Structure 1
Amino acid sequence: MRALILLGLVGFAAQLVDGSLGMAYGVTSTTLLLAIGTNAAAASATVHLAEIGTTLASGISHWRFGNVDWKVVAKIGIPGAVGAFAGATFLSSLSTELGAPIMSIILLSLGVYILIRFTAFGLPRGNLGKPLRKRFLAPLGLLAGFVDATGGGGWGPVGTPAILASGRLEPRKVIGSIDASEFLIALAASAGFLIGIGSENIDFGWVGVLLLGGIIAAPIAAWLVRHIPPRILGSAVGGVIVLTNVRTLLRSDWIDANSTVQTIAYITIAVLWAAAITYSVRAYRRDKAAEALEAQSERREATPA
């Protein structure tokens, strides 16, 4: 019962982050499932089956708040589904001993990317309003879908920053469109896993609990995307993912680090993580203060003498 409650809370928290940031539901949930000993393919399959419901709820919520560009959804979602099916088939063919470390490396890489991206740069805002081309979105979707299925998450961490970096779509619509298109990726990946490993290797009770937590969080996240600072949230989530997957790798047969090395690694990561969050908070406050001063200056210029 305690494990199910924990999974429900993880599903809630992961969807709250994903719906607000456009990433990290799969990465966060899969990281936890690996940490408690679930095999790599089963962990990714469990998360993707839950995501069929959570992404549908999230997409509808974002659509109701006007956060979705359906042209972007179509251009990136269909190639993404092809990549996700291929990734699920690939991961299903790997042994458990090989699959877990490989997935942890992918998750760790995504966690480092999220941590650095949001801590150092925040959300880019340039070229707003320019069209997003199919020749950019289709390969991006194919790659993001493959990474998502093999890593148990990655659709958001790959897709969201890439579109944000283009500066052609406002952040809330990037997040809403990525979340809405993820429904197609979840369907395709789930089909690939069911064919590859069969339903007997999946705990549908876990799927249901993750799904329930995510569905509850989806409308809250779609509303929060307009109000919470993504820079701070990105730094916080990135640190969790890095710390957890470093732990998995250090305890794997590949490394098998002793307790002293593990302790030093955890302390180092914790210090860097705290520094990243502190920097993000200060940067956010600095940017808000600059925006307030700019707005005040514009009001003064607009006021007749």
Structure 2
Amino acid sequence: MQLSPNQQDNEQTFSEEEKGNQLFPVFVKLNKLHTLLIGAGNIGLEKLRAIINNSNRAKITIVAEMILPEVYELIKDYPQIKIKQKSFDVDDLNDIDIVFAATNNQILNEEIRAVTHEKGLLINVADKPELCDFYLGSIVQKGDLKIAISTNGKSPTIAKRLKQILNEGLPAELDATLQNMSALRNTLNGDFTAKVKKLNKVTESLVNPRKNFFEANIKWLIWLAAILLLGTAGITLWNTEPEFQTFFINIDPLFYWFLGAGFVFALIDGAIGMSYGVTSASFSLAMGLPPASASMAIHISEVMSNGIAGWMHYKMGNVNWKLFKILIIPAIIGAVLGAYILSSLEHYSSYVKPVVAVYTLFLGGVILMKAFNIKRKKAEHKIKKIGLLGFVGGFIDAAFGGGWGSIVLSSLIAGGRHPLFSLGTVKISRFFIATLSSLTFFTMLGGKHWEAVLGLIIGSAIASPIAAKVSNKISAKTIMVAVGIIVMLVSLRSVVLFILKLF
């Protein structure tokens, strides 16, 4: 079939419109224009909020037959916004510069678009990209800085996700930098080229920021801390524990048990990204280790793995250093304090064990909830007491053998923090917490139960390179359900045995 010349023109135009993103980004001064919003239901309310959030001095006329009470509540502090409760007619376009159609009547929206174009005006039709002359993108704002994100109408969800990433990644202090740059710009003399060179030089640090000593040497600091910890522990054991020198001749069976346990628990952790602490703690208590010795074994075995994981997240740019600085000091204080108190109660381990068992019983339930995707209601605002969260997380992690990720990471994400940056920050923080709590345990307890410690270290190290392959072979939900049930049963057993001893 041969196309007519008119059809050929239409076909060519359509293909050109579909080829690439043809949008030209602009920032409109709505406070200088007169805006017409048609519709005041849920859709109209959403558009009105978007306009006011970005231009709270915009002059808006709202035309609608039905008006939500929330609309009246929203505009009560904006006297420049007027409401006409009536049906739309062409005369409403008089003295208007830009139009938003937000009705749920498709036929009416198309009629509004037609008469709007006759008047030579631009229009945005809610949820109908093909009828729009312009789109409303997702907005990231830091003071006077605004970044608009558009996906050419293809996926608003992607735009919202990018907004989350930029909101988390761009510091609030950027607005102060912007104000300083504005002041500097007003003081510069010379021609345009000279001004540009000077401003480029001043802003070079935004593109190539200078790293402080800690950020620039994080890899070596992690390795140094891990080697010092493990070296100190090895030398101390060699000089103070005669049995350690003949260990490889007369190997204690306890070593084999913890070697296998460390291997299995590390595989589980690699497959589902959690539960190493709670599974190790439950197993250690079941094997007769006092809570302090169990927590020491867990934290020493985690030093190297968390150091490597933290460094990898750093290399991938997943660490929020501002969040890290707020989190790390209170977390270390909490972890050292928890390790000190738990070590001081070593003589009362028979009473501490059931407390730890109740805690691991709770964490087992948390794992089951995650397996079946049972979620708590997401917080509307970001959690603000980061220091307190770090202290509590560090204390519980050291005092009860685990829980840093379960408490801190889940709280940050539930509180609105970006999951990727939260994970990277929590992982690198965990390394320093594990290192300092391990040193505290070792200082207080010496080389007690070193067979279990060594077994967990070697077992988890062997499992690390295998864990990724295992995660691709076994269903994560299956593993989480199994782990949750096993941890709860083992923990419940410890609680029941304690109750029976009392009676």
Q: What TM-score do the two structures reach when normalised by structure 1?
A: 0.68
Cα contact 2:267–2:464 (8 A) shared by 1: yes
- Aligned partner of 1:100 in structure 2 is 353
Instruction: Tell me the secondary structure at the aligned position of residue 455 of structure 2.
Output: helix
- 5+ residue gaps, structure 2: 1-250
Note closer, same or farther for the CA distance 1:124–1:17 as it changes in structure 2 (3 Å cut). farther
- Aligned partner of 2:446 in structure 1 is 199
Q: 1:243 aligns with which of 482, 486, 489?
A: 489
What is the CA-CA distance between 1:142 and the residue it aligns to? 0.9
Cα contact 2:313–2:319 (8 A) shared by 1: no
Q: Which amino acid aligns with 2:372?
A: T
Note closer, same or farther for the CA distance 1:239–1:46 as it changes in structure 2 (3 Å cut). same
Cα contact 1:22–1:178 (8 A) shared by 2: no
Distance 1:42 1:53 in 2: 19
* Structure with greater helix share of residues: 1
Distance 1:74 1:226 in 2: 35
For the pair 1:142 / 2:391, whether they are aligned, the reply is yes
For the pair 1:184 / 2:437, whether they are aligned, the reply is no
What is the CA-CA distance between 1:231 and the residue it aligns to? 5.0
Cα contact 2:320–2:422 (8 A) shared by 1: no
Distance 2:479 2:297 in 1: 25
Distance 2:302 2:262 in 1: 10
What is the CA-CA distance between 1:81 and the residue it aligns to? 1.4
Instruction: Tell me the secondary structure at the aligned position of residue 121 of structure 1.
Output: coil
Q: Which amino acid aligns with 1:237?
A: V
Q: Which has the higher contact order (CA 8 A, sep 6+)?
A: 1
What is the CA-CA distance between 1:117 and the residue it aligns to? 3.8
Distance 1:120 1:63 in 2: 29
Distance 1:6 1:192 in 2: 25
Note closer, same or farther for the CA distance 1:80–1:139 as it changes in structure 2 (3 Å cut). same
What is the CA-CA distance between 1:97 and the residue it aligns to? 1.4
- 5+ residue gaps, structure 1: 259-305
1:231-289 Cα shifts (integer Å, max 9, x gaps): 5544333222111101111122x34599xxxxxxxxxxxxxxxxxxxxxxxxxxxxxxx
For the pair 1:79 / 2:317, whether they are aligned, the reply is no
What is the CA-CA distance between 1:59 and the residue it aligns to? 2.6
Note closer, same or farther for the CA distance 1:70–1:34 as it changes in structure 2 (3 Å cut). same
Note closer, same or farther for the CA distance 1:60–1:124 as it changes in structure 2 (3 Å cut). farther
Cα contact 1:35–1:244 (8 A) shared by 2: yes
1:216-237 Cα shifts (integer Å, max 9, x gaps): 3345557888998755544333
Cα contact 1:19–1:175 (8 A) shared by 2: no
What is the CA-CA distance between 1:168 and the residue it aligns to? 2.9
- Aligned partner of 1:46 in structure 2 is 297
1:103-139 Cα shifts (integer Å, max 9, x gaps): 1112112222222244243699999xx9x67x34322
For the pair 1:30 / 2:281, whether they are aligned, the reply is yes
- Aligned partner of 1:112 in structure 2 is 365
Distance 1:257 1:238 in 2: 27
Of all paired residues, the percent bearing the same amino acid is 30
Distance 2:476 2:416 in 1: 16
For the pair 1:68 / 2:314, whether they are aligned, the reply is no
What is the CA-CA distance between 1:50 and the residue it aligns to? 1.7
Cα contact 1:81–1:145 (8 A) shared by 2: yes
Give the number of the structure whose alpha-carbon radius of gyration is greater: 2
Cα contact 2:268–2:479 (8 A) shared by 1: yes
Cα contact 1:57–1:219 (8 A) shared by 2: no
Cα contact 1:59–1:176 (8 A) shared by 2: yes
Q: 2:400 aligns with which of 145, 151, 170?
A: 151
What is the CA-CA distance between 1:163 and the residue it aligns to? 2.3
Note closer, same or farther for the CA distance 1:126–1:151 as it changes in structure 2 (3 Å cut). closer
What is the CA-CA distance between 1:180 and the residue it aligns to? 2.4
The alignment yields a C-alpha RMSD, in angstroms, of: 3.4
Q: Comparing 47-56 with 149-158, which one deviates more in the overlay?
A: 47-56
Cα contact 1:19–1:179 (8 A) shared by 2: no
